[in-house]
A and B are shown apart, each in its own frame.
Chain A
C-alpha cells in the first residue's frame, strides 16, 4: 500500500516500555523518594490546596485571604485536608485528585477576621430617572500557613 500523508499520524510514534520493567522502575522510584523523605533531605515544600472553592499554591509562612466567614476564632490552628499536590526541590507528589491524609499535613492559623473595603453597587439608567445605590461590605478572614509536613508512607 502506498504511503500518503495520512497513513501515519503527524505526532512522533512513542514506544511504551515493558510493563514488568515499568513496575520495577516504579518501585525503585518510590523507594528512593521514601528514603529522601524519611531522611528529611528536602528544603522548602509547596502544596496546592483546595480551600473555600479555590485552589491555592502555598508554602510555609505565607498569607491567604478569603471572602467568607470561618467558624474558627482568631488564633485557632486549622488543618487543611484536600491537598492536591505536594512538591519540593527534587520531587513532586501528585494526587489523583487528592493525596492521602496520612501523607501530608498542612496547618494554618486564623490571624484576623475583618471586613472588606466598602464596595459601591450602583445602577443608573439614563433619561429614566432610575438609580439605586448600595454599599457592600464582605467579611473576610486572613490565614497564615504555618507548616507543611510529609510522612514517608508511599506505596
Chain B
C-alpha cells in the first residue's frame, strides 16, 4: 500500500521561446513514456503562445505544497530526470531534519529509568545515609 505523493505535474512553456527547446523535445518524445511509467501522476501540458514567463515545471503534492522548477535551457534527458526526482519526492519542505528516524512507539519493554535492574528494596526504602 504505497501512495505516490505527487498529484499533478504542470508543464508551462511557450512554443516560440528559444530556451524552451528542451521542454518542446520532452513533450514530443518522452512525455508519453513518462506518463506510462507513472500511471498515478497526472501530467498537464499547457503551451501559452507568445513571449511569456520562463518555462516552468510545476509539481503539486497531496499536502498542498507547490514546487516550481525552471526548465529553461535544459535538455530533454535532464527534464526527464528532474521529473522523476519530483515524482519520487513528497511534499514536505526541504529543510534540515533533526532526526533521521521517527517512531510513534519508542519503547517496547518500558523506558529505562535509573531504578530498573536494581533490587526492589531501593524502591521500598528509598536512598538512605550509610552510618559512618
Give the B-binding residues of A (Cβ under 8 A). 43-46, 56, 58-59, 61-67, 74-75, 87-89, 92, 109, 111-118, 142
Judge whether A62 and B2 touch: CB under 8 Å.
no
Tell yes or no: B7 within 8 A of A by CB. no
Judge whether A59 and B103 touch: CB under 8 Å.
yes
CA distance A123 to B5 in the complex (A): 38
Tell yes or no: B122 within 8 A of A by CB. no
Judge whether B101 and A115 touch: CB under 8 Å.
no
Q: Considering only CB atoms, which chain B residue lies closest to A67 in the complex?
A: B100
CB distance from B82 to the nearest CB of A (A): 11
Interface string of B64-106 (1 = CB under 8 A from A): 0000000000000000000001011110001111001111110
Q: Considering only CB atoms, which chain A residue lies closest to B40 in the complex?
A: A75
Q: Considering only CB atoms, which chain B residue lies closest to A116 in the complex?
A: B94
Tell yes or no: B4 within 8 A of A by CB. yes
Q: Given A74-B4, A111-B2, do A56 and B108 touch, yes or no (CB 8 Å)?
A: no
CA distance A111 to B95 in the complex (A): 18
CA distance A117 to B105 in the complex (A): 27
Q: What is the predominant secondary structure among interface residues of chain B facing chain A?
A: loop
Judge whether A113 and B104 touch: CB under 8 Å.
no
Q: What are the residues of chain B within 8 A of A58 when measuring CB–CB?
A: 101, 103
Give the A-binding residues of B (Cβ under 8 A). 2, 4-5, 85, 87-90, 94-97, 100-105, 108-109
CB distance from B57 to the nearest CB of A (A): 16
CB distance from B101 to the nearest CB of A (A): 5
CA distance A152 to B94 in the complex (A): 44
Q: What are the residues of chain B within 8 A of A142 when measuring CB–CB?
A: 90
Q: What are the residues of chain B within 8 A of A44 when measuring CB–CB?
A: 105, 108
Judge whether A63 and B2 touch: CB under 8 Å.
no
Q: Considering only CB atoms, which chain B residue lies closest to A142 in the complex?
A: B90
Q: Considering only CB atoms, which chain B residue lies closest to A114 in the complex?
A: B89
Judge whether A109 and B2 touch: CB under 8 Å.
yes
CA distance A116 to B98 in the complex (A): 12
27 contacts between A and B (CB under 8 A): A43-B108, A45-B108, A46-B108, A58-B103, A59-B108, A62-B103, A63-B101, A63-B102, A65-B101, A66-B100, A67-B100, A74-B88, A75-B2, A87-B108, A89-B109, A109-B2, A111-B2, A111-B90, A112-B89, A113-B88, A114-B89, A115-B85, A115-B94, A117-B95, A117-B96, A118-B94, A142-B90
Q: What are the residues of chain A within 8 A of B104 when measuring CB–CB?
A: 61-62
